[in-house]
Amino acid sequence: MIKNFFKLIANEFSLMIKGSIFTFVLFCLLMIASSIFSLALRHVTFDIEIPLAFLWIMIFFISLIKVEKVYASDFSEAKLQQYILSPFALEIIIFVKNIMIYLNLLFLFFIFSPVILVILNIKLSYLISINFLLALSLLSIVFISSMTASITISRNNKLSITSVLTLPLFVPILIFSMAITNVIDFDIHKLYLFFLAYFLLNLAFSPLLTSFALKKLSV
Amino acid sequence: MIEINNLSFARGNFLIFKDVSFIVKSGEVMILRGPNGKGKTTLLSNITQLLDPLSGEVKYQGIKIDSYIASQCFLYLGENHFAYDQLSLNQNIDYWLSIHNVKFNKAIRDQSIKFLFGELDLNKKFYQLSFGQKKKLQLLLLMLVNKPIWILDDPFNGLDNDTIVKITTLLSKKAENNGLIIIASHQSIAIPHRTYELI
């Protein structure tokens, strides 16, 4: 079982690599959106909070789109039937898929982040802090997005609207991410601890709820 | 032995089937027949616990089937293919064998592939395969995943005569080895079987 679990991780990793082009396109769109944002506000002076909020909201949308795309293809009815009848719990498969999506998004963000920060006129001295903060907050974003996606892809379209119920779960991430700009007043380690704690909370509930939604709404 | 007791299922306010009861013993093949829309696929989904019935229960060896028993005992092959388009045939086989927790044995795997596919480039991407070849990939699991109950939804759809004969041989061997098979199909099968008519 353990051997096959590692094989499953390797296979999911290979699937993730094959799906990287779509993530690359999403990050290219992020660069274009950042350029338009900066050009539109070129005559206005503003604090770092505004481009940072813009960046986080864009990352949130990118994660949501990526997770939904992966879930729509990887949890189509026929595949889901096999996953449900597999000796591996569906929650484990969801966890592995989410981690792969996370690694995929994170890797591309690390590549694109210096350019994006320059475009958004954010000091490069923030690069490591922003990358580290995103690495922590993206975990929660992906796991919450998986709950949203599992409801959105349900066959019963009337229920898709209920996926908005998960949106408030993103709010603490956005609020606390903005705190990075106040690192002098705010103990940054506590901020990291918050994201870690919030991720652990999501880790406890998200795979269970996602699996429940997939089983009940998509088969 | 698998017992289906008074199984009913409804989608919304529409009753698909009512009070379906039958028993399939080990070594038996049960064919579900009935016109389109009478709930053959839905009944298979109810048996495998993929869908919760409105009422009734399904027992295996006298124990009510739950999701754990279903995952250990059932091999379900539905109408639609489950493989990943972007993976090659070889990668897909590896992927689904790991999902079904099959101990890897290259010799058996190669033998099974040769039996079902003959000479075929295993590095071909799944989307490059024909409908029949895609179906064969699903049916390959019958040879490689060892579970006591096979639940098959229209397994002969899109297959050539040679493959139908091969699959029939597989079904026959499974029944001889005390396996239990439930099939929803419109086609006749050249092995001893019982029939349940959904009307």
pLDDT tens digits along A144-163: 999 999 888 877 666 667 77
Distance CA A202, CA A212 (A): 15
Tallying the residues shown for chain A, one arrives at 219
Phi, psi of B46 (to 5 degrees): -65, -40
**In the structure encoding, which two tokens stand for residue B84, read together?**
């990943």
**In the structure encoding, which two tokens stand for residue B176, read together?**
């001889």
* Exposure class string for B158-177: b at 16+ Cβ within 10 A, else e: ebeeebeebbeebbbebbee
Is B33:B198 a contact under the CB 8 Å cutoff? Answer: yes
Distance CA A199, CA A207 (A): 12
Instruction: Render pLDDT for A184-203 as a digit per residue (tens, 0 to 9).
Output: 455 667 778 888 888 898 88
Is B29:B14 a contact under the CB 8 Å cutoff? Answer: no
Between A183 and A39, residue with greater pLDDT: A39
**In the structure encoding, which two tokens stand for residue B178, read together?**
């005390």
Name the residue facing A85 among B51, B70, B79 (closest C-beta). B70
3-state percent helix, strand, coil for chain B, nearest multiple of 5? 35, 25, 35
Kindly determine whether residue B101 and residue A86, on different chains, have CB atoms separated by under 8 Å: yes
Kindly determine whether residue B91 and residue A18, on different chains, have CB atoms separated by under 8 Å: no
Instruction: Render pLDDT for A88-145 as a digit per residue (tens, 0 to 9).
Output: 999 999 999 999 999 999 999 999 999 999 998 888 888 888 888 888 889 999 999 9
Kindly determine whether residue A15 and residue B84, on different chains, have CB atoms separated by under 8 Å: yes
Domain enclosing residue A151, as ranges = 2-217
Between A97 and A219, residue with greater pLDDT: A97
Give the pLDDT of residue A219: 66
Distance CA B66, CA B88 (A): 34
Distance CA B155, CA A41 (A): 61
Q: Does B13 touch chain A (CB under 8 A)?
A: no
> How many Cβ atoms are within 10 Å of B121's Cβ, its own excluded?
10
- The ipTM of this complex is 0.90
Instruction: Render pLDDT for A63-96 as a digit per residue (tens, 0 to 9).
Output: 999 999 999 989 888 899 999 999 999 999 999 9
Distance CA A50, CA A56 (A): 10
Question: What angle (nearest 5°) sits at the alpha carbon of residue A4, between those of residues B1 and B147?
Answer: 15
Between B130 and A217, residue with greater pLDDT: B130
Give the pLDDT of residue A93: 94
Instruction: Render pLDDT for B140-177 as a digit per residue (tens, 0 to 9).
Output: 888 888 889 999 998 888 888 888 888 898 888 888 88
Which helix H or strand E contains B32, and what residues bound it? strand B29-33
Q: How many domains does chain A have?
A: 1
**Going residue by residue through chain B (199 aa), what tens digit of pLDDT does each one get?**
899 999 899 888 888 888 889 899 888 999 998 888 888 899 999 999 888 889 999 998 889 988 889 888 999 998 888 999 888 888 898 899 889 888 878 888 888 888 888 877 888 888 888 888 888 888 888 888 888 999 999 888 888 888 888 889 888 888 888 889 999 988 778 888 788 888 7
Q: In the structure, what pLDDT confidence band is assigned to residue A183 with cuts at 50, 70 and 90?
A: low
Phi, psi of B153 (to 5 degrees): -105, 110
Within its chain, how far is the Cα of A66 from the centroid? Answer: 8
pTM: 0.89
Give the pLDDT of residue A108: 93
Look at residue A182 and tell me whether its pLDDT is greater than 70. no
Give the pLDDT of residue A181: 65
List the single best residue of A3, A76, A82, A158 to mutate versus B (max B Cβ within 10 A).
Answer: A82
**In the structure encoding, which two tokens stand for residue B38, read together?**
């009478």
Phi, psi of B157 (to 5 degrees): -60, 125
Q: In the structure, what pLDDT confidence band is assigned to residue A25 with cuts at 50, 70 and 90?
A: very high
Kindly determine whether residue A84 and residue B71, on different chains, have CB atoms separated by under 8 Å: yes
Phi, psi of B119 (to 5 degrees): -90, 110
